[in-house]
Amino acid sequence: MLAMPVVPVLAVHVGAGMAGLLAGTVALAVRKGGRLHRRAGNVFFVAMLIMSAFAAWLAFLVSQRGNALGGMFTFYLVATGWATVRRRAGHVGRFEIVALVAALGAAATAVFFGVSAARSPGGLLDGVAPPNYYVVAALAALAAALDLKVILRGGVAGVPRIARHVWRLCVGLFIATGSFFLGQQQVMPAFMQGSLMLLVPAFAPLVVMVFWLFRIRFRNWPGAARRALPAVIPVAEPVS
């Protein structure tokens, strides 16, 4: 039985998570850069921020440090992915510096949790094995390195800009789909629990991410990068 203070936090987390999953699916499915894509993307952005923030809060309430870290890292990915196309191309500011510090903090925390799990008697920390923490640490370190690259170059533009937008939002969505379809199988119909079919919706964001990164990175895909840039990136607004 959940403690009473946990119930409203869980309700908001689940509601925002479902809204984020639906909006993210729409944003991936419709024409990029169109009105529906932008509106679905904005709903996805807000819903995912709420979902991840409440996930971290909920994990703190029930003493699940790994899930708290996962919630905060998802918040970081979605915030930086969305801000990439709201920031004017070739500009940086305080937001990018804060993002870099956040990514470094997430990487260091994940390493600490992994080492703590490895040294614990059962080889687990809050039920999570060291490799899981090290994967998060590696991803956060990669994100931090890319943040530093953007800062040192004075911003990001063109194909790297859209690639940064795509991979961060898709990985954020993947964390949500993986957590729901693979981590919450008890809410699925009995015939689906433990089924390989759940891997399809769980990993779909990564498949779409690879497709789009390939399409915008390789110019020998007929006109791909030239078509994708104006189609996916909306009119930018300043982000301080």
The tens digit of pLDDT for each residue in 16-49 reads 999 999 999 999 888 887 889 999 999 999 999 9
Structure tokens at 90: 């070739």
- Contact yes or no for 106/76 (Cβ under 8 A): yes
CA distances from 93 to 151, 152, 153, 235 (A): 8, 11, 12, 19
CB-side neighbour CA atoms (13 Å) of 56: 14
- In whole angstroms, give the CA distance from residue 182 to residue 212: 24
The tens digit of pLDDT for each residue in 166-188 reads 999 999 999 999 988 888 777 77
| pTM score, whole prediction | 0.86
CB-side neighbour CA atoms (13 Å) of 230: 3
The pLDDT of residue 219 is 58
Structure tokens at 123: 């080889």
- In whole angstroms, give the CA distance from residue 55 to residue 188: 20
- In whole angstroms, give the CA distance from residue 102 to residue 97: 9
Residue range 103-119: mean pLDDT, rounded = 96
- Contact yes or no for 232/162 (Cβ under 8 A): yes
Largest CA distance in the chain: 57
Least trusted range by pLDDT, from 3-12, 80-89, 134-143? 3-12
